[in-house]
């Protein structure tokens, strides 16, 4: 019985020592083609506040509407792998000239995401 308890305790310690991997909230709307240009790359961030859910809207607009390129893909990479924010495309996106993305953090977490917009 003593060896069983010792073996169980060793397994618990080993399981706690293994590195944990966390999946971030990465998104890709559309497809990045070979002839596409990176229209914008920016970091969207907002600091955490204990006990609150943080939200932030990011809007992409092109200045010259007549010569504006069409968005083919939007790639969002979450830099906070443990308590990352979710992203929701609320308007525009692939096939349009602009886009608005809403980021929502977990309770007590912040927002830190890299947004890449591709088009042609």
Angstrom distance (rounded) from CA 42 to CA 5: 53
Domain ranges of the chain: 23-119
Average confidence (pLDDT) over 46-64: 93
Distance CA 55, CA 53 (A): 7
Give pTM, 2 decimals: 0.77
Instruction: Annotate the chain with DSSP letters as a single string.
Output: -HHHHHHHHHHHHHHHHSPP------EEEE---TT-EEEEEEEEEE---TT---EEEEEE--S-STTPPPEEEEEEEES-SSSPPEEEEEEE-TTSS-EEEEEEPPTT--EEEEEEEEE-
Predicted pLDDT of residue 96:
95
Q: In which band, very low, low, confident or very high, does the pLDDT at 21 lie, cut at 50, 70 and 90?
A: very low
Average pLDDT score, the chain: 85
Asked if the model's pLDDT at residue 12 lies above 70, the reply is no
pLDDT for 4 beyond 90: no
Banded model confidence at residue 65, pLDDT cuts 50, 70, 90: confident
Q: Which residue has the higher pLDDT, 9 or 86?
A: 86
């Amino acid at each position: 019985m003593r060896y069983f308890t010792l073996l169980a305790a060793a397994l618990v310690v080993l399981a706690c020592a293994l590195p944990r991997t966390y999946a971030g909230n990465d998104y890709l709307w559309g497809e990045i083609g070979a002839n596409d240009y990176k229209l914008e790359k920016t970091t969207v961030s907002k600091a955490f506040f204990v006990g609150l859910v943080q939200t932030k809207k990011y809007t992409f607009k092109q200045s010259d509407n007549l010569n504006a390129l069409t968005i083919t893909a939007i790639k969002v990479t979450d830099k906070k792998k443990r308590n990352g924010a979710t992203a929701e495309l609320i308007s525009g996106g692939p096939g349009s000239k602009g886009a608005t993305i809403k980021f929502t953090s977990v309770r007590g977490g912040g927002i830190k995401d890299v947004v890449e917009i591709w088009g042609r």
